[in-house]
Amino acid sequence: VHPLYAAMAPTIFEHMSALAREHGAINLGQGFPDEPPHPDMVAAAARALTEKSNQYPPAFGLPELCNAICGFYARRQGLALAPEQVIVTSGATEALAAALLALVASGDEVILFQPAYDSYAPVIRRIGGVPVSVALRPPHWRYDAADLAAAITPRTRVLMLNDPLNPAGTVASEAELAMIAETCVRYDLTAICDEVWEDVRFDGIAHRSLLSFPGMAERAVKIGSAGKIFGLTGWKTGWMCAAPALATALGRAHQFLTFTTPPALQWAVAEGLERPDDWFAAQRDGWAVSRRRLGDALDRAGFNVLPNAATWFLCIDLAASGVALSDREFSERAVREAGVASIPVSALFEGDGPRHILRLCFAKDGAVLDEAVERLARFR
Ligand code: PMP
Ligand code: GLN
């Protein structure tokens, strides 16, 4: 066994969901909605399973889906992408791995902002790359130009940006994105833009892709996921978009990872992406109601809730809420003793990070959220 895996624990998401099952706890840990899938989406997948081909689709994705992804980004983000620039993957997790395989050689340094999604650093290390962290700090998790510049060396090749940011639930400002783009151009870096949360935004905030900034079209890989756009996390249908030469290299990595993705789900996602804006707005309004419900309940119970603009997550500052436990201790005990699973944000930091921030998923039924907060309030 490769030493990296011999020493590796299960992901924090798997760990907390297993504990939630074991203890019959309300699961506000791993991010997935409780509501039944939208009937339009399931009907489209069922129709595709019975009426369309169930054999290998093209390795880079069904042309219908590649077209739909381009149309979706043109309408909603003003991007001009051609279908040849899109590669469909088995979830964003595969896209992230394929992009790193295609872009990082042994000894190359990769800039990560922390907190970072947990798959980034292990994949970078497995291919001989060196993750170099730039820490963001609560409660606003802002990007700092001096911190970023200090992390860059002659060996830096790639920068990873997750915007909107999981677990913080924040969105980078236009000025921050411009600063990051200028840095990529100045130091000749390729950006892997994990934008899976691009459509889970609130309060009328628009999504601006790093790929749309000057000089970035040729050096950005934009990653998306139907799991988040449609709240169907089990579908594991994602994609990556890049300039043609870059897309070809990404496709070479993808062809030997999964080669392709189940066609019925690709058909259903293609159909889904073509739905009108108000269909997506209705879905978002539903999530916004849950976001307010959890935020208000936490407020009333005296928890300090951090600002949120996106994702299905609210973070609470345990220290500012008068809780003496670390986020790890709190989450490990709360799942067993209070029956509520959560994610300690320190699990998404390596080295020196905050140890007092807890992430809670609000994409749940209102009564479930109320009950979870009552349990946490009694426990604290
Ligand atoms: N990146 C981020 C930031 C995520 O939050 C997630 C899913 N939680 C992924 C990637 C993986 O997406 P998928 O399920 O499509 O593989
Ligand atoms: N991305 C999901 C989250 O943040 C978890 C995905 C997983 O379990 N690997 O909760």
Cα torsion 108, 112, 118, 124 to 10°: value is 0
Is the ipTM here above 0.95? yes
Q: How far is the CA of 95 from the centre of ligand 2 (A)?
A: 15
**Do 376 and 301 touch, CB atoms closer than 8 A?**
yes
Q: What is the pTM of this model?
A: 0.98
Domain 3-30+278-379 shares a fold with domain 39-275: no
Cα–Cα distances in angstroms (integers) from residue 304 to residues 13, 108, 330, 357, 380, in the given order = 23, 40, 15, 10, 13
Yes or no: domain 39-275 corresponds to CATH 1.10.40.30: no
Position 59 scores a pLDDT of 97
Atom of ligand 1 nearest to the CA of 233: 14
Between CA 168 and CA 165 the distance in angstroms is 6
Q: Is the distance from the beta carbon of residue 30 to the nearest atom of ligand 2 less than 6 Å?
A: yes
Position 131 scores a pLDDT of 98
Residue spans of the domains in the chain: they are 3-30+278-379, 39-275
Strand 304-305 relative to strand 238-241, pairing? unpaired
CATH fit for domain 3-30+278-379, picks 3.90.1150.10, 3.40.640.10, 3.40.50.150, 1.20.58.220: 3.90.1150.10
Mean pLDDT of each 10-residue bin along the chain, 380 residues long:
94 98 98 94 98 97 98 98 98 98 98 98 98 97 98 98 98 98 98 98 96 98 98 98 98 98 98 96 96 98 98 98 97 98 97 94 98 97
Q: Is the distance from the beta carbon of residue 13 to the nearest atom of ligand 2 less than 6 Å?
A: yes
Matching residue, tokens 């964003």 = 92
The residue whose CB lies within 8 Å of the most ligand 2 atoms, and thus the one to mutate among 96, 196, 233, 361, is 233
Measured by CA distance, the residue closest to atom 8 of ligand 2 is 13
Q: What angle do CA 317, 322, 324 make, to 5 degrees?
A: 90
Cα–Cα distances in angstroms (integers) from residue 141 to residues 194, 202, 209, 254, in the given order = 17, 17, 18, 32
Question: CB within 8 A of 319, min separation 6: which ones?
Answer: 356
Position 352 scores a pLDDT of 85
pLDDT tens, position by position, 215-256: 999 999 999 999 999 999 999 999 999 999 999 999 999 999
Atom of ligand 2 nearest to the CA of 167: 4
Q: Is the distance from the beta carbon of residue 31 to the nearest atom of ligand 2 less than 6 Å?
A: yes
- Judging by beta carbons within 10 Å of its beta carbon (0-12, 13-18, 19+), is residue 52 exposed, middle or buried? middle
Q: What is the DSSP letter of 85?
A: G
Cα–Cα distances in angstroms (integers) from residue 208 to residues 89, 126, 189, 199, 200, in the given order = 22, 31, 19, 11, 13
Position 77 scores a pLDDT of 97
pLDDT tens, position by position, 29-45: 999 999 899 999 999 99
Q: What angle do CA 308, 313, 314 make, to 5 degrees?
A: 55
